[in-house]
Structure 1
Amino acid sequence: MRKGPNDEVFDPKNTLTVKKTLKVKVYMGNGWHLDFSRTHFDSFSPPDFYTKVYIVGVPADCGKQKTKIIEDEWIPVWDEEFTFPLTIPELAILRIEVREYDRSEKDDFGGQNCLPISELKPGIRAVPLYDKKGEKFKSVKLLMRFQFV
């Protein structure tokens, strides 16, 4: 373990100051109708997608937000923004997960991605999603904006 410039050792339980704030905007998703059968999520209607956005890192940085559910739409438009204050952005990861809401059973998995905060470039990005095994979907992407303030 490396020590700081004054021989201090990092303790994640200490009160930490916010170094930067990440704003994540989830505009929309597309591509499920190309990578999945029409009845994969629901037998009789288009899917009801929502997106979960997590920060995973030191305890002070961890957080979770969720978009509203867009019902009966293969190309959902959420247009929602979330703000995450970060104390140790070098150790934080942005986890994105899309699920399909199901009233009677467990919500269906629609894709995921994990991005190190240190690698995020500000701006609007098409973020590819991956299946549970880590295989990239051919077409499924989210249109998102990342902004540091």
Structure 2
Amino acid sequence: MTGWMHGAQMIAFNMQGYGKSLWIMHGMFRSNGGCGFVQKPGFLMERGPHNEVFDPKVTLPVKKTLRVRVYLGDGWRLDFSHTHFDAFSPPDFYTKLYIIGVPADAAKRKTRIIEDDWGPIWGEEFKFPLTVPELALLRIEVREHDMSDKDDFGGQTCLPVSELRPGIRAVPLYDKKGEKLKSVRLLMQFRFV
């Protein structure tokens, strides 16, 4: 993201392991129908009236506010064994939402933990004011809360904000390797104000 925001034409990705960096790269290249080509916004290709270039560190006024409502999640019981998350009880899921982009837009939110439920219902809404929505990505990660150990991974996706369409959507989640989980979905609503 840093190279892209500063106008780099080509960027080499280290794809030797799986993790957040690769998930973000997958999300960025979901733009334009997932063909692998993402055209830069005009302000990254043009110079200003005094020959200045875009500076991602400059704080700009808010252009749009993205409102994200996380209604519920389902499908884990179909894609995972009944003891995958907890040996003796249903999982305790929560969702983390991140905005990745220029530093002024970076944000992190988290739903409450829904205990002992394979189909958690959150019904929570979050606001993300965006100064440069053209460069923003929405990263979504579901985790299973574990009191005695590290929280378990339940799925993730990364979506370009410029590609989000207002309305209620069933958002598929992916595993750590970026493979789509067969049944797991989040029911979410996206709005721009």
* TM-score interval for Structure 1 and Structure 2 normalised by the shorter chain: over 0.9
**Correspondence 1:58 to 2:102:** yes
1:132 shift after superposition: 0.2
SS where residue 118 of structure 1 aligns?
helix
How many angstroms apart in 2 are the aligned matches of 1:94 and 1:57?
Answer: 9
1:4 shift after superposition: 3.4
How many angstroms apart in 1 are the aligned matches of 2:92 and 2:145?
Answer: 5
| Correspondence list, 1:80-119, <5 A | 80-119=124-163
SS where residue 127 of structure 2 aligns?
strand
| Correspondence list, 1:7-26, <5 A | 7-26=51-70
Using CA pairs below 8 Å that are at least 6 residues apart, which structure has the higher relative contact order? Answer: 1
Query: TM-score, normalising length from structure 1?
Result: 0.98
SS where residue 56 of structure 2 aligns?
coil
SS where residue 34 of structure 1 aligns?
helix
Unaligned runs of 5+ residues in structure 1 are none
**Correspondence 1:122 to 2:166:** yes
1:28 shift after superposition: 0.1
**Correspondence 1:4 to 2:4:** no
Who is 2:90 aligned against? 46
Higher strand share: 1
Q: Deviations over 1:103-131 (max 9, x none)?
A: 00000000000000000000000000000
1:11 shift after superposition: 1.0
Percent identity, aligned pairs only, is: 74
How many angstroms apart in 1 are the aligned matches of 2:96 and 2:59?
Answer: 27
Who is 2:183 aligned against? 139
Deviates more, 1:4-13 or 1:63-72: 4-13
Query: TM-score, normalising length from structure 2?
Result: 0.76
Count, aligned residues:
149
Unaligned runs of 5+ residues in structure 2 are 1-6, 8-44
How many angstroms apart in 2 are the aligned matches of 1:126 and 1:86?
Answer: 23
1:8 shift after superposition: 2.5
1:15 shift after superposition: 2.2
How many angstroms apart in 2 are the aligned matches of 1:17 and 1:130?
Answer: 34
Which of the numbers 80, 101, 105 marks the counterpart of 1:36? 80
Alignment root-mean-square deviation, CA: 0.8
How many angstroms apart in 2 are the aligned matches of 1:75 and 1:13?
Answer: 41
